[in-house]
Amino acid sequence: MSSLSIKVTIAGRTYPLTIDREEEEVIRKAAAEINKNIDSLKNNYAVKDIQDLLAMTALQFATKNVENLNSLEYDKLSDAIIRLNQELTVNNPSS
């Protein structure tokens, strides 16, 4: 893996990063999503303090992450139940 030095701007501040070259697109998209969310909050609410906007953005992203993890766990459990049900049906066809 080769390193790459990039700069990303989040909420008007530029951050220098050294990353793996393969991560560049994801990191740039993530920074763009953060900025987009901050702009949306600015336009829809009276909040102007950048720290408040960053905190609300972090809360929204963390909430979405928890929802995604819960959904993934639900999907895994659902698949396990289906497999168990299929095994029970195969091993006990008279039911």
DSSP assigned state of 70:
H
Question: How far is residue 70's CA from residue 67's CA, in Å, rounded to a whole number?
Answer: 5
Q: Which residues make Cβ contacts (< 8 Å) with residue 43, sequence separation at least 6? A: none
In this prediction, residue 23 carries a pLDDT of 97
Residue 66, classed as helix, strand or coil, is: helix
Tokens 């766990």 correspond to: 73
Tens of pLDDT, residue by residue over 34-91, are 999 999 999 999 998 999 999 999 999 999 999 999 998 888 899 899 988 888 888 7
pLDDT of residue 53: 97
What pLDDT score was predicted for residue 95?
57
Domain tally, the chain: 1
The predicted pLDDT at position 91 comes to 77
Range of the domain at 7: 3-91
pLDDT on residue 42:
95
